[in-house]
Amino acid sequence: MARLTAIGQGLVQLHRLYGGSAWHSFHLWDQRNPLIFYLIAGLEPRTGSALSARRATYHGSPCLYHCQSFSLLLLPMAKIISTVNMKGGVGKTTLTVNLATCLAKYFQKRVLVLDLDSQISATLSLMAPHDFAGIRKKGKTLSYLLGNAIQPNPYSKLDIFDIICPEICQIEGLELLPGDIELYDEYLVSEKLHQAAIATENPNFETVWNKFEGTLIKEMLAPVLEEYDFVILDCAPGYNLLTRSGIAASDFYLLPARPEPLSVVGMQLLERRIEKLKESHKASDDPLNINLIGVVFILSGGGLMSRYYNQVMRRVQTDFTPGQLFQQSIPMDVNVAKAVDSFMPVVTSMPNTAGSKAFIKLTQEFLQKVEAFG
């Protein structure tokens, strides 16, 4: 954790610490006396003499502080993880919600789940439909944030802090940014990018698109990254704008798969797409730096007895190194599917089942892999 200490009365000039980001969160803690601030941006008081300026923006200029003795603590940012596969039906959402729940419930991590799929499976795996309907009626879904990013509204009253649902499934540390069945208007996206392209000296739609794609989800999440240890993105199958933007915002990606030939095809397509995405952003101000955290096998109806299993595993072991494969797989367990009916992850609704125990072990292995990356 970085620390900057100023002793005595004076000025501390804080420059933007993260290139390309308009937001930065920080906390100030007085060592001896209450702080005296003359601050360009607004502060929100916290307990005692702790102060949070997490909603203060830089607007391209340094912030100046005039104060007595204090320490500035720059809190570590969350790791952003995309759960993604080009093919649907491979257990992507099941992995997302159960991993997130295990991290919060059993390992005391602060976790945000972001549902990027218009099927809203992750949302409905963590809350009942009638609860979601109430939230959607108030406009408190991902769609609201995307709308503001695509067509900014100066009269907008909500921000990401207002839309995140805390203590999902009554689990401390587990939070959800709900998805929506209607996420964004493709025509408005095209119009925005067209106007941005013709406004430049040398119009290049591809450059404008890459910038928008690379910053859409990243800038949306920036204000809250210090609030969590992990942000897990449940990406849609295929390769749409939000999936690409989610990948671009991520530090790591998880690749759920079933021991079936078509699942392997989806894995191979994803690997090629990510390499192409990295290449297209190589010349940008913020090139992609995303790593595969691992392939997780979620067994289908045939399980280990599937006639394809050995064939698929041989192919996977050829395409990926041993370190890229999770040793823990998720066994066939009907309770994992039954948990969907309760709108809760299986690790919460039926914690003693084989599937739940496998997810807990998988989560422990996940943490070890993340730690190994440093």
Work out the average pLDDT over 115-136: 95
Rounded distance, CA 243 to CA 241, Å? 6
Domain count, the chain: 2
Rounded distance, CA 24 to CA 18, Å? 8
Contact 125, 178 (CB under 8 A): no
Say which residue, 46 or 208, is predicted with more confidence.
208
Rounded distance, CA 157 to CA 166, Å? 19
Work out the average pLDDT over 266-277: 88
Query: Which of 74, 109, 130 is where one domain is finished?
Result: 74
Q: Do 94 and 233 sit in the same domain of this protein?
A: yes
Q: Do 97 and 70 sit in the same domain of this protein?
A: no
Residue 218 belongs to domain with CATH number = 3.40.50.300
Band of residue 326 on the pLDDT scale cut at 50, 70, 90: very high
* 303: phi then psi, degrees, rounded to nearest 5: 55, -145
Closest by Cα among 369, 184, 223 to 293: 369
Rounded distance, CA 31 to CA 328, Å? 46
Q: Do 255 and 351 sit in the same domain of this protein?
A: yes
Rounded distance, CA 268 to CA 133, Å? 37
- Helix (H/G/I), strand (E/B), else coil: 145: helix
Band of residue 306 on the pLDDT scale cut at 50, 70, 90: low
Closest by Cα among 242, 224, 238 to 180: 242
* 217: phi then psi, degrees, rounded to nearest 5: -75, -35
Mean of per-residue pLDDT scores for the chain: 78
- Residue entry with tokens 């989806």: 266
Q: Is the pLDDT of residue 44 over 70?
A: no
- The DSSP letter of residue 47 is S
- Per-residue confidence (pLDDT) for residue 207, from 0 to 100: 81
Band of residue 358 on the pLDDT scale cut at 50, 70, 90: very high
* CA 328 to the chain's CA centroid: 23
Q: Is the pLDDT of residue 110 over 90?
A: yes
Work out the average pLDDT over 229-249: 93
- Residue entry with tokens 């409905």: 124
Q: Do 39 and 59 sit in the same domain of this protein?
A: yes
Say which residue, 43 or 278, is predicted with more confidence.
278
Please count the residues of the chain.
Answer: 374
Q: For residue 151, what are the domain limits?
A: 79-373
Q: Do 258 and 154 sit in the same domain of this protein?
A: yes
Percentage of the chain lying above the pLDDT 90 cut: 45
Rounded distance, CA 38 to CA 169, Å? 42
Span of 21-25, 158-162, 313-317 with lowest mean pLDDT: 21-25
Rounded distance, CA 69 to CA 374, Å? 33
Closest by Cα among 222, 176, 173 to 26: 222
- Per-residue confidence (pLDDT) for residue 316, from 0 to 100: 84
pTM: 0.79
Q: Do 186 and 147 sit in the same domain of this protein?
A: yes
Q: Do 69 and 170 sit in the same domain of this protein?
A: no
Contact 240, 250 (CB under 8 A): no
Q: Do 130 and 249 sit in the same domain of this protein?
A: yes
Q: Is the pLDDT of residue 122 over 70?
A: yes
- In DSSP notation, 208-275 reads HHHHHHHHHHHHHHGGGGGG-SEEEEEPPSS--HHHHHHHHH-SEEEEEE-SSHHHHHHHHHHHHHHH
Band of residue 24 on the pLDDT scale cut at 50, 70, 90: very low
Q: Do 105 and 66 sit in the same domain of this protein?
A: no
Q: Do 52 and 127 sit in the same domain of this protein?
A: no
311 class by beta-carbon count within 10 Å (0-12 exposed, 13-18 middle, 19+ buried): middle
Query: Which of 54, 74, 94 is where one domain is finished?
Result: 74
Q: Is the pLDDT of residue 1 over 60?
A: no
Query: Which of 13, 41, 74 is where one domain is finished?
Result: 74
Q: Do 37 and 104 sit in the same domain of this protein?
A: no
Band of residue 302 on the pLDDT scale cut at 50, 70, 90: low
Q: Do 59 and 101 sit in the same domain of this protein?
A: no
